[in-house]
Structures are given as C-alpha cells and as structure tokens.
Amino acid sequence: MASISLPNYSLPSLLPAQKPTPQFYSSQHLPLLSKPSHSQFFGLKVSHSVSLSTPSSFPAKTAIFAKVNKGQVPPSFTLKDQDGKNVSLSKFKGKPVVVYFYPADETPGCTKQACAFRDSYEKFKKAGAEVVGISGDDTSSHKAFAKKYRLPFTLLSDEGNKVRKDWGVPSDLFGALPGRQTYVLDKKGVVQLIYNNQFQPEKHIDETLKLLQSL
C-alpha cells in the first residue's frame, strides 16, 4: 500500500494583534504543532509531519488541466500486469475498454471500487468491454490484491506515475493524493467518458455501465 507525505500548509492567523508579552512570541509566526503522525485518509495511508503557523496568506491551489479530453485518443502505453506481462493499450482496440486510475491497492476506497467492478464484471463482458485498473503499485502488490479479492480483470503497474501524468489525471489534496478517474474508450480508442469521483468509488461502475449501454 502506498505511503505518501503531505506537504506542510499554514493557517491564517485568527489571533488579535497583541503586544509581545512573556506568554507570546514576538515573531509573526507562532508554531502551533510539530509532531509526526499517521492517519488514514479515505483508505490511503498518510504519513505526515504537521507544522502549523500563522502567516498572512494561505498558499493557493495549483490548477491542473487534463491532457486527455472526451473525443480524443489518449496516449498509448505499455505497462506490466499483475503477472509481470507487458500489456499495451493497443491490445484492446476493436472493443470498448474501461481504464480506471485509482490511488493504491488494499485501501478501503480502492478495494470497494475494485470489488464493485468485480461484482459487475459480467455486465461489462456482456457489453463487450474490458476493464483495466492502473495505480502506482508494483506488480507483486497487484498480484496479491487481485488474488485476495478474486479480481477477474487486468491491473497495471504505473510505477513513477508516467501514464497518469501523460493522461493528465488530476490529484486531490493539493497533489498529495493520487486522483481516482475513469475513462471509457470506444472500439476506435476514442474517449467517450471521463468520470472523476474520489469519495464515491462505487459510482464509477454505475457511470461507466450507463455509458457502455448507450454505445
């Protein structure tokens, strides 16, 4: 399971102006907390050291623009699957394919999503579609994840997140949490749906099936 570090952010001061006294620092920045901790954020294990201060401004979130849009043919790729075999996107041309990017194996949200795809897999087969999951986990992690939950579809290892970056999958939490985004490509390899929902992973299955049934 992936372990990431949250960047340090600072909070605007809510303290009224006061003259320096022995109880207050004379600096404009008052350290409030500096203690390493671990937490679970929607299934992704987060290691972070929080240091809060009180500057006059809060850093703005950087805008991320997707490189792949509806109606486009996304960049091709070749990645290793859970069995260590190379799999290329071009392999699926001629049939619809669902490519879903998720944060990490063995996390609650990602496990719910994978199992929802598994439980609806016969519906995807009936629609003639393939399902492919992609995350930054290595092949051994994918193999254990697929075996544990009996996942009947392909999981690809995008170590270094090159494909994620090439496709322009946006991140959450100021770039600290890998995004959860699903693409549906038609038989010609053209994107017909882009669905992003980090906090309702099972909704991805409903939206993709709805689109597939209309193709």
Q: Is residue 96 part of a domain?
A: yes
Q: What is the DSSP letter of 185?
A: E
Domain count for the chain = 1
The CATH number of the domain holding residue 209 is 3.40.30.10
What count of residues does the chain have? 215
Average pLDDT, the chain: 79
Classified as helix, coil or strand, 126 is: helix
Residue with token string 């979130």: 61
Contacts of 167 (CB under 8 A, 6+ apart): 66, 67, 68, 74, 75, 101, 183
Poorest-confidence range of 52-56, 173-177, 210-214? 52-56
Q: Is residue 180 part of a domain?
A: yes
Q: Is residue 55 part of a domain?
A: no
Please confirm, yes or no, whether 110 is among the known catalytic residues.
Answer: yes
Q: Is residue 85 part of a domain?
A: yes
Tell me the per-residue pLDDT of 76-125, one tens digit each, with 9 for 90 and over: 999 999 999 999 999 998 999 999 999 999 999 999 999 999 999 999 99
- Of these residues, 44, 104, 110, 212, which one is catalytic? 110
Q: Is residue 146 part of a domain?
A: yes
Q: Is residue 30 part of a domain?
A: no
Give the global pTM.
Answer: 0.71
Which domain range does residue 122 map to? 80-213
Q: Is residue 203 part of a domain?
A: yes
Q: Is residue 169 part of a domain?
A: yes
